[in-house]
Structure 1
Amino acid sequence: MNTIITETEPVAIRAWAEKRFIYLELTDGRIFGFPADRFCILGQASEDHLKKVRVEVNGHALRWEDLDEDLTVAGIIAGRFQLPLPRPVA
């Protein structure tokens, strides 16, 4: 007997912004968050603009219409950010 197991990557079912962090709730139950400042356009956006995030493409992307910015959920989960973490102040 052959068993076929198909794994699907988790996708976002909800997204929100709070205190310059973007949060995703994924279909596998995880909540993932990242600082907006890890992306060029989001880092320059106001808190009000960040809060206008929408889940698009059946949960595979995040969209900020006013900023004309799109991010893939898979890229975020994999840690593919545009900008490095800020260096701690010594």
Structure 2
Amino acid sequence: MNSSNPYPENERPVEAWCDPVSLHVKLADGREVVTPLWWYPRLFKASASERNNVELMLDGVHWPDLDEDLSIRGMLKGWKYPDAVAPRAVA
């Protein structure tokens, strides 16, 4: 990582999508970061169409329909919204 560049090339998102339970982000170095949708209440409550209207940024992912931005660093560190609550398991 170049100290003058706060966004390491290996952490640049190259693809992002949501399945019914997870957010997936593929990084430039080939890693795939997968986090639960419930970590991000706006994404969790959004429609599939809204979730999959995604724009990649230099350091994260943006959902224009939801006015939501997530950083790659935050996902790599396991950050979730403070008020995020895991859904109750259905027996």
TM-score range, shorter chain: 0.7 to 0.9
Residue equivalent to 2:20: 19
Rg comparison, structure with higher value: 1
Distance 2:74 2:20 in 1: 22
Gaps (5+ residues) in structure 1?
none
Match of 1:75 in 2: 74
Q: Secondary structure of the residue that 2:34 maps to in structure 1?
A: strand
3-state secondary structure, aligned to 2:78: coil
- State percent identity of aligned pairs: 29
TM-score (norm. length: structure 1): 0.76
Whether 1:48 and 2:49 are equivalent positions in the alignment is yes
The secondary structure found in structure 2 opposite 1:66 is coil
Whole-Å separation in 2 of the counterparts to 1:11 and 1:84: 28
Question: Displaced runs of 4+ in structure 1, greater than 3 A?
Answer: 5-9, 84-90
CA deviation profile, 1:45-70 (whole Å, cap 9, x unmatched) = 111111112211x2x01100010111
Q: CA RMSD in A?
A: 2.3
CA contact (8 A) 2:38 2:85 kept: no
Gaps in structure 2 of 5+ consecutive residues:
none
- How many residues in Structure 1 have an aligned counterpart in Structure 2? 84
Given the two structures, how large is their TM-score scaled by the length of structure 2? Answer: 0.75
Whether the aligned pair in 2 keeps the contact of 1:23 and 1:32 (CA below 8 Å) is yes
